[in-house]
Structure 1
Amino acid sequence: MRGPERRRIARELAEQHGGVVSRAMLRRVGIQRNHVASEVHAERWALHGDATVAVHTRPLTREEQLWRAVWEIGPDVAVLDGVTALQVAGLQHFDEPAIHCSVVHTARVVWPSGVSAHKVIRRVPGETVPVGIPRTRPAVAALRAAHWAVSDR
């Protein structure tokens, strides 16, 4: 696959995720590790962990950071949770710089920087939103946000 075609395909994939894409997604469309390395070496793309590739070199936006958190932990086990899931659902005027993610307690994961780690006993059917960035539903997220809060305020 030639460079211009590779970059076009990667940009189209990344548009759905705010400007970042996972290495797994790139592999599925034929963009291999050496292709990514070439784009990074040419300073067209940037790596943000083991699984996240930005198809630009600027700092990550909040949406891109959220996708990065899920992909770096593991898209099959991690979901945004608590305050972060509420913010994605539309909560406004509440600033929380940390990204809150949860995984089932038996998952063995490495937590990336900037992510608040939470392990939960289990996932119940219907707990997560089936579209968009993996996250818990607002009702579940609100309960967990209250439980994980550092103060009653």
Structure 2
Amino acid sequence: MTASEFTAGIEDHATDPAERHPPSVQGGARPAVRHRPQPAPVPRDPATRAHEAEDRFLRRLDEDLDPREAGEATAEAGKEIARLLGMQLVRAIVTRSGMTLAELSERSGIAAETISRLSVGKRATGPALWTLLALAEAANVPLTVAIESAGA
């Protein structure tokens, strides 16, 4: 909000004309308002904005839920994250393979319909690890699984 918008808002609420302007301005023009240039906002990448929004949401959620409800909400959020990450991995494998779903299905032993549903996120859960490994191997796409310790 600029100073002039703030001043206009105050003036709208004043009831007595004498209260609208200080005595030095009552009969004359309004004093000039100096505007300082605002620094340009620092652009943030979408991932950073998403993490910040998630943090704000989780803080509010922690305030509203008891520990059992918070645990259930966290588990559901973890399932959704796994489903979305699985969807991205399956899409990447299918795209990099250059194969049709039928070809990939034949080589991996996983039904084409299942591959399709996984790649568009139409399953309630993400793909099992063995499904990802089978698809990656059939597509000749490298897939590395790394398990890190909590302190790393």
Decide: shared fold, TM above 0.5.
Answer: no
In our comparison, the structure showing a higher alpha carbon Rg is 2
Structure with greater helix share of residues: 2
TM-score bracket, shorter-length normalisation: under 0.3
Q: How high is the TM-score relative to the length of structure 1?
A: 0.25
Normalised TM-score (structure 2): 0.25
Higher strand share: 1
